[in-house]
Amino acid sequence: MKLIARGAALLSRAPWLLTSLLCLVLLGAMSDALAHAVAEGDKGYIQEVTGIKLLPFVYLGAKHMVTGYDHILFLLGVIFFLYRMKHIAIYVSLFALGHSTTMLAGVYFGIGINSYVIDAIIGLSVVYKALDNLGAFQRWFGFQPNTKMATLVFGLFHGFGLSTKILEYNISPDGLVPNLLAFNVGVEIGQMLALGAILIVMGFWRRSHSFLRHAYSANVAMMTAGFVLIGYQITGWFVS
């Protein structure tokens, strides 16, 4: 616990470090080609396994969310200026509803979207949330988009990103529904773990005087990461 407190204290002195670290993870992960790429070992397992394998798919779902830098960046943006747990729970639930719906339906009904296009849209979700946090829409257009609806809609796209990748791995129809449900449970567990870590750090940072002073820089860094992801995916689309 002391180690966590020390780490959070460091981030409170350099609050842009959290987002910068996530941006570095994003850039390093570009070697995997897609935001929703699955590790080679996990990919092989998904392709070869048959029958109901609940615990392995729970693990895979949790691992995907915890290591899914695009999801984490979007969640960071969503909760950035949310202080009450009630509000955080509402927004995270909307994101989970959207993500779960399209992930399950996409795989079950075989609905796939071009990987480059869907991942570029996911990058756009990060850019959107950063701009929203910066108040850009009110300044530029004179109105505030419905933040709850936007969270739900972008959650739908995040789910399609994963379902598209799973379809490419030709998951076995034997035990498909139970395995997908187990995977989704794992995703939600991973989301709670990632969100818990973010909230711990944000809690320490918000108690410092530097929060409002550096919130702008943190969101600009997050927006930059989103643009990098968009550019990478669009480039990959044209090259392919």
* Overall average pLDDT of the 129-158 stretch: 94
SS3 49: coil
pTM of this structure: 0.84
pLDDT of 35 higher than 50: no
- Mean pLDDT throughout 42-69? 86
Mean pLDDT of the chain: 84
Which among 217, 198, 191 has a CA at the least distance from the CA of 79? 198
For residue 222, count other CB atoms closer than 10 A to its CB: 28
pLDDT at 6 over 80: no
Measured between alpha carbons, how far is residue 229 from residues 24, 205, 221 in Å? 12, 27, 13
pLDDT tens per residue across span 93-115? 999 999 999 999 999 998 888 88
Measured between alpha carbons, how far is 118 from 121 in angstroms, rounded to an integer?
5
Cα 94–Cα 95–Cα 98 angle in degrees, nearest 5: 85
* pLDDT (tens digit per residue) in 192-215: 999 999 999 888 888 888 888 889
